[in-house]
Every structure is written in structure tokens, then in C-alpha cells.
Amino acid sequence: MKKNVINNFTLYTLLLGLPLTAFIACSNDSMDDTDIEEEIANEEEEESIVTELHAAYSAFNTDAVTIYLDGSEVVIETTGLPNHETVYWGEGHSLYKEEPDVQLTPSIMSSNNNAATIRVDATPNLSGNSVATDFDTIGIAVSGASIFNDQEGGGPLNAAAASLDWTGAHIGPGVYHYHLEPKAFSNDDDNLVGILLDGVFLYGRKCSSTGDYPTDLDESGGHVSTTQYTDGEEEYHYHIINEVYSTTGSYLAFAGPYQGY
């Protein structure tokens, strides 16, 4: 008898629940595909908004570089004028360094428009395909000057290597830029070198997580580990690869491809 009571109550409960179920189903049906797509997009937009700059940006030369957030992007504006010595400042400048062995390009820093502005993702997208670097500014160094790849004048860097100053940079075309390890602020160490166009930071040849040269770098010179700016959290970043480039006697700053597009 008790068993029949339980079964009847269960049946009664199920019958009461049918209208509610039907109502919920109808409510879900009222949301078309467009509504669902908009809801997903809104959720993704909320997740992509970054409210605080990465701690590594604190290493940039504030006399030359202005950095601020714009939604999910970081805007980096620079005068392009570095805060270290080089022959390319020209005689008479306080940061002029005499370098008699450098085959100077025709221009000096003070006569060129070195200013540049780049926008990068505050959170790099590492899920897509790798992208080759272009012949132009591929990033901004902590000094404020541009970073270029391993090409010069549409060809290999070798032909222009004699014009590189003591810190692996020169002028041509147009702006002062680094091709090699910038010894003025990163010389066989784990110092931050700069930020590249894909939003990934570039460090010196050593990694702060081990104090030594990393052995797990991918084709771009990148890997995942902690850095001095991540407060114990791991993140993907690049290193200058610890291999001497050609006849330069130094190390390429970055050849690519990017991994953060």
C-alpha cells in the first residue's frame, strides 16, 4: 500500500512539472542564433578587457615612451630616441660616443623622425598560426628605439653589419633601430629587451627562472616560464637566441616568426 502511495505522488509531481518544463523550453526557443552569438560575444569582450598594464612595462624609458591601455590593447608611443650613447647621436650631443670602426650611414639621430606608435594585444593570442616578421619596426625596445629583424635593405643583414654601432644598432632606413643584442641594456643577461608587435615580451639570452640560457626555446626563441615581472606566474615570452649570428660576432635580437598573432 505504501508503495502505491509513493508511485501516485511521483506521477502527480511529474504532471505538475510538465507546464513548467514546456515554459522553459519555449523560453529557450525564443532566443534565436543572433541573440546567442551576441551573448557569447559580450562575454568574450568582458573577459578580454585588461584593467592593469603588465608589470614589465615599468622597465621602459619614460623619457621616450608613453604606454597606456585602450580596451584590450596596449598603445605604445615613442620618440624613438634611446637613452644611451651611440655614434649616431652626432658630434656635440651629450650622448655621442666616438666609434671610429663603424661605417656610418649618412644620417644621425637628431636629423631623423624616429617617432613610432604601435598597438599590441594586452593578452597575446597564442592559438593561431605563426607569422613572419616584416622589414620595418617589429617592436619597441625598453630604451625607446625600434627593433628590426635580420634583414636590411631587403636582404640579409651581413651587408650592413659594418654600420652597426657598439650596441647592435644603426640608422637606415629612417629610424635608429637594433638588429642585434642591445648591449647598452642587455648583455648576456635576463634583462627585458622590449615588446614585439604580437604583444610578447623579448628578454636577453638568459632566463630569470633558472639564471641560465634556456634549452627549451621554440623556433622563435620563445618558451613558457616565470620572469622577473610575473610574480611567480608562468607566461610565454621570447629570448635572444644564444647563437652568434653570421660574421657580426653578436646575437640577433629577433628574427621571427611571431607566435602571438
Please spell the DSSP secondary structure of 187-249, one letter per residue: SSS--EEEEETTS-EEE-SSBTTTTB--S---TTSEEEEE-TTTTT-EEEEEE--SSEETTTT
- Return the bridge partners of 70, or none: 73
Statement to judge: residues 101 and 220 lie in one domain: yes
Statement to judge: residues 54 and 128 lie in one domain: yes
Let me know if residue 93 belongs to a domain: yes
Let me know if residue 257 belongs to a domain: no
Let me know if residue 259 belongs to a domain: no
40 to 31, 36, 140, 144, 173: CA distances (angstroms): 13, 6, 34, 39, 45
Statement to judge: residues 234 and 111 lie in one domain: yes
Statement to judge: residues 24 and 77 lie in one domain: no
Statement to judge: residues 15 and 141 lie in one domain: no
Res 238 pLDDT > 60: yes
Let me know if residue 260 belongs to a domain: no
Mean pLDDT over the full length of the chain: 85
129 to 122, 181, 222: CA distances (angstroms): 18, 26, 15
Q: Please report the pLDDT score of residue 129 as a whole number.
A: 80
Q: Work out the percent of the chain whose per-residue pLDDT is above 70.
A: 82
Statement to judge: residues 27 and 69 lie in one domain: no
pLDDT mean over 217-232 = 96
d(CA 3, CA 122): 63
Domain count, the chain: 2
Range scoring the smallest mean pLDDT among 33-47, 106-120, 159-173: 33-47
The structure's pTM equals 0.81
Q: Please report the pLDDT score of residue 153 as a whole number.
A: 75
Statement to judge: residues 138 and 170 lie in one domain: yes
Let me know if residue 261 belongs to a domain: no
Q: Please report the pLDDT score of residue 51 as a whole number.
A: 85
Q: Within 13 Å and on the Cβ side, how many CA atoms surround 144?
A: 17
- Return the bridge partners of 168, or none: none
Assess contact for 240 and 186: CB atoms under 8 A.
yes
**Using CB atoms within 10 A of its CB, is residue 129 exposed (0-12), middle (13-18) or buried (19+)?**
exposed
Let me know if residue 219 belongs to a domain: yes
Strand pairing report for 151-152 and 155-156: antiparallel
Statement to judge: residues 40 and 149 lie in one domain: no
Statement to judge: residues 210 and 156 lie in one domain: yes
pLDDT in tens, 139-186: 999 999 999 999 987 778 888 899 999 999 999 878 999 999 999 999
Let me know if residue 196 belongs to a domain: yes
Statement to judge: residues 191 and 65 lie in one domain: yes
Please give the residue range of the domain that contains residue 228. 50-251
Q: Work out the percent of the chain whose per-residue pLDDT is above 90.
A: 66
- Return the bridge partners of 216, or none: none
Unique residue bearing C-alpha cell 613610432: 116
Let me know if residue 109 belongs to a domain: yes
Q: Which of 185, 179, 155 is nearest to 251 (CA)?
A: 179
pLDDT mean over 202-223 = 97
Statement to judge: residues 10 and 127 lie in one domain: no
Range scoring the smallest mean pLDDT among 11-20, 87-96, 252-261: 11-20
Res 135 pLDDT > 90: no
Statement to judge: residues 161 and 35 lie in one domain: no
